[in-house]
Amino acid sequence: MSYTLTLVGAEDASEADRRAAEQRYRRALDDALGDASLVVPTYRAWLGIVARHGDSPDVGALTDPERDVLELWQAAESAAITAAFGPHRYLDDAWFEIRL
């Protein structure tokens, strides 16, 4: 299953810069999760955790598999953001939207 990825909130970026950032993000996310085919199931599992436990769940309240998914997704997303924007990125103006 595939997903679409869109850089949102970067109105000052050119279309070429936006596409390049999206490609860097996608490549890093795929690599961090081990394969592109793992993005959708991992993202869905993370969405389920967030739906049940909130945006910042208490890791002590999670099951071991939930905690594993949460930590895996957070690490992959962080790696993707760093790949797309660099290590000194402030997250308050642009973000990536993933659609399944």
- Distance between CA 29 and CA 76 in Å, rounded? 5
Judge contact between 78 and 72, C-beta under 8 A. no
Q: Which residues of 41-62 are buried (b: 16+ CB within 10 A; e: fewer)?
A: ebbebbeebeeeeeeeeeeeeb
Tens of pLDDT, residue by residue over 50-86, are 999 999 999 999 999 999 999 999 999 999 999 998 8
Per-domain boundaries in the chain: 4-99
Does the pTM of the predicted model rise above 0.75? yes
Tens of pLDDT, residue by residue over 29-53, are 999 999 999 999 999 999 999 999 9
